[in-house]
């Protein structure tokens, strides 16, 4: 399945999640690409939009490849293959601090006048525009589980089947529209997949 753009992917996710309409779900988007999708989902499901801030830990010499992830509290997930691709303890400590600094900067940018919306007791839907390794989603779900949501859902348009299975223990429900057998990058499953910049994220969150 190839999506025309993030808008179409979000519309299809909204259809798959239609049973949550009327429950005032909290839609938490992983910046930056998923934020426009989260906006559409929040409107379609009559929910509330915010962001969950997590960052991947990048492999040495290959910044697109995740070897782990970190959440806003500093909790870190490290993949079992990290060391085999150069993720030594020293490197991971440095990368962890770099990404934590980015998270702090984004929180100050994105929601400067209010704290994150409390997910306690609520139906929470975490959305991303796709998963490759699933590392950032794992950190997002782990961070949110500690905050005691009533129900925690992962919603993505596309991901490898083995990544979906890796995610399942962290969520009450995983909604994934497509699990292609051949998977190289999320962007290959979109006809139009532009970068989303900080200004667009800030504008969407101000509207929300």
- Interval 126-146: pLDDT, tens: 999 999 999 999 999 999 999
**Whether residues 38 and 134 fall in one domain:** yes
User: Which tens digit of pLDDT belongs to each residue from 71-96?
Assistant: 999 999 999 999 999 999 999 999 99
State the helix-helix crossing angle for 89-110 and 198-207, rounded to 10 degrees.
Answer: 50
In a domain? residue 79? yes
pLDDT value at 47 more than 90: yes
Contact assessment for residue 81 and residue 57, using Cβ atoms and an 8 Å cutoff? no
Give the number of domains in the chain: 2
3-state secondary structure of 172: coil
pLDDT value at 150 more than 90: yes
In a domain? residue 1? no
In a domain? residue 135? yes
In a domain? residue 18? yes
In a domain? residue 105? yes
The 10 Å CB-count burial string (b at 16+, else e) for 139-160 is bbbbbbeeeebeebbbbbbbbb
Mean pLDDT (whole number) for 27-49: 98
Contact assessment for residue 49 and residue 31, using Cβ atoms and an 8 Å cutoff? no
User: Which tens digit of pLDDT belongs to each residue from 175-188?
Assistant: 999 999 999 999 99
Mean pLDDT of the chain: 96
**Whether residues 42 and 136 fall in one domain:** yes
* pLDDT tier for residue 8 given thresholds of 50, 70 and 90: very high
């Amino acid at each position: 399945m190839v999506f025309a753009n993030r808008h179409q992917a979000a519309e299809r996710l909204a259809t798959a999640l239609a049973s949550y309409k009327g429950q005032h779900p909290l839609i938490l988007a992983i910046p930056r690409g998923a934020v426009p999708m989260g906006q559409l989902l929040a409107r379609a499901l009559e929910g509330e939009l915010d962001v969950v801030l997590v960052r991947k830990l990048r492999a040495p010499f290959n910044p697109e490849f995740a070897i782990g992830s970190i959440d806003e509290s500093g909790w870190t997930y490290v993949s079992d293959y990290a060391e085999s691709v150069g993720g030594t303890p020293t490197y991971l400590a440095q990368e962890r601090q770099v990404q934590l600094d980015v998270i702090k900067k984004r929180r100050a940018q994105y929601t400067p006048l209010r704290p994150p919306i409390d997910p306690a007791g609520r139906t929470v839907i975490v959305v991303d525009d796709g998963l490759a390794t699933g590392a950032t989603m794992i950190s997002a779900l782990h961070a949110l589980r500690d905050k005691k949501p009533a129900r925690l859902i992962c919603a993505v348009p596309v991901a490898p089947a083995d990544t979906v299975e890796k995610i399942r223990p962290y969520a009450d429900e995983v909604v994934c529209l497509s699990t292609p057998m051949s998977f190289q990058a999320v962007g290959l499953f979109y006809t139009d997949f532009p970068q989303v910049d900080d200004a667009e994220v800030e504008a969407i969150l101000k509207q929300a």
